[in-house]
Amino acid sequence: MTKRALLLINRHSRKGKENFAQTVDLLNNWDFEIISVPLKKVEDIPFLLEKYRSSIDLVIVGGGDGTLNAMADMLVETQLPLGIIPLGTANDLARTLGIPNSIAEACRIIAEGNLKYIDLGWVNNKYFFNVASLGLSVKITQKLSKGLKRRLGILAYAWTALQVLSKTRPFTAMIGIDGENIKVKTLQIAIGNGRYYGGGMPIAHDAQIDDQRLDLYSLEIEHWWQIFPLLWTLPRGQQGLLSWVRTLNGKEIQIQTRKPHSINTDGEITSTTPAMFRVIPAAIGVYIPRQETQF
């Protein structure tokens, strides 16, 4: 049976512009009826989903994690199934779900129709897929240019991090979790819903996108040399092995700071402290490979 799909491709993403025609052809071959709308900016996504919600069976998005973040709220409202064509720089949600970067394979996965429901994170009325954070990561986001991402790809994150690290100072925060309040002095607090963030780093060694919990770590660094063990443990999700990295998990987390701090969700600055974080279990349906019974 032919399904009608709204195809949204961010042509400003790293691969969006050159892969648009190929994506349309592949989906047509899989017998989708495609409604394709030029996406000039990601801020248009909620309007487009509202406009077409009653006339489509699913929405297919070509872009990166920022593009997906822009549509998370409307996906919850419309409950439209989501197909993902990874065309961004990091593609952390696709990595978490086992969706390959191959456009042909991503289209095949959508056509097979293996729909699974995943959790979403929520902070101050904004949904997110992968991770929300404040501190160092916000400064990286503010400095990271689209041009650098296009030229260097995933290496752009590491290069930018090195540039801002020496200028970032610790801040004091109060973390509320499971009825306990913990005061910390930290460079960064990250709260993950999915497994991967920042180009393939696990938020925790056992994090999953359907485990109905949020995973938090706080970088409580006091000496410059402590950066070097982080370079080894962070890419493996093993930062909790270090005594100066606090790790926690729960269904609801509060963060308070003396002055407002910006919050980055999936690579986009969308909120500020004080903040309430929650996990929303089985919030939306996403097409994933058939062999991915667990994330």
Q: What is the CATH number of the domain that holds 239?
A: 2.60.200.40
Q: Tokens standing for 142?
A: 């503010």
pLDDT at residue 49 tops 70: yes
Mean pLDDT score, 154-175 = 68
What mean pLDDT is predicted for residues 233-240? 64
Kindly tell me if the per-residue pLDDT of 234 is higher than 80: no
271 assigned to some structural domain: yes
Mean pLDDT of the chain: 86
Q: How many domains does the chain have?
A: 2
Higher pLDDT, 196 or 12: 196
**Tokens 């709204």 label which residue?**
6
Over residues 43-50, the mean pLDDT reads 92
- Same domain for 31 and 54, yes or no, is yes
164 and 270 together in one domain: yes
Among 88, 112, 136, identify where a domain stops. Answer: 112
Instruction: Return the minimum-mean-pLDDT range out of 56-60, 236-240, 278-282, 288-292.
Output: 236-240
Here the CATH number for the domain that contains residue 31 is 3.40.50.10330
Residue 295 domain-assigned? no
User: 75: which 2 tokens?
Assistant: 């996906």
Task: Report pLDDT for 144.
Answer: 58
292 is catalytic: no
pLDDT at 293: 52
Among 80, 112, 144, identify where a domain stops: 112
Predicted structure pTM score: 0.86
- With a cut of 70, say whether residue 268 has pLDDT above it: yes
For residues 227 and 114, the model is more confident at 114
Choice among 105, 252, 268, 292 that is catalytic: 268
Is 286 domain-assigned? no
The domain of 152 spans: 124-280
Give residue 147's identity as a one-letter amino acid code.
G
134 and 159 both lie in a single domain = yes
131 shares a domain with 275:
yes
DSSP 37-75: --BS-GGGHHHHHHHHGGG-SEEEEEE-HHHHHHHHHHH
- Are both 140 and 220 inside the same structural domain? yes
Checking if the pLDDT of 154 tops 50, the result is no
Examine residue 88 and state whether it is found in any structural domain, yes or no. Answer: yes
pLDDT tens, 269-287? Answer: 899 999 999 999 999 999 9
Average pLDDT over residues 101-112: 96
pLDDT tens per residue across span 240-254: 666 678 999 999 999
How confident is the model at residue 292, as a pLDDT?
A: 55
Q: Do 162 and 194 belong together in one domain? A: yes
> Does the structure show a pLDDT above 50 at 152?
no
Residues 231 and 87 in one domain: no
Q: What's the CA gap between 171 and 173, in Å, rounded?
A: 7
pLDDT at 36 over 70: yes
pLDDT level of residue 134 (50, 70, 90 thresholds): very high
Report, as an integer, the average pLDDT of 171-179: 93
**Mean pLDDT, to the nearest integer, of 144-160?**
51
The per-residue pLDDT for 260 is 96
> Is it the case that residue 186 has pLDDT exceeding 60?
yes
Q: Is residue 194 part of a domain?
A: yes
Look at residue 99 and tell me whether its pLDDT is greater than 50: yes
Is 293 part of a structural domain of the chain?
A: no
- Boundary residue ending a domain (112, 140, 171): 112
> Which pairs with CB-CB distance under 8 Å and at least 24 residues apart come from 42-49?
42/10, 42/66, 42/67, 42/70, 43/70, 45/8, 45/70, 45/71, 45/74, 46/70, 46/71, 46/73, 46/74, 48/6, 48/8, 49/6, 49/74, 49/75, 49/78, 49/80
Residue 159 has pLDDT above 60, yes or no: no
Asked whether residue 161 falls in the same domain as residue 105, the answer is no
Q: Are residues 96 and 130 in the same domain?
A: no
Are 209 and 171 part of one and the same domain?
yes
Both 67 and 147 in one domain: the answer is no
Residue 185 forms part of a structural domain: yes
Q: Are residues 222 and 86 in the same domain?
A: no
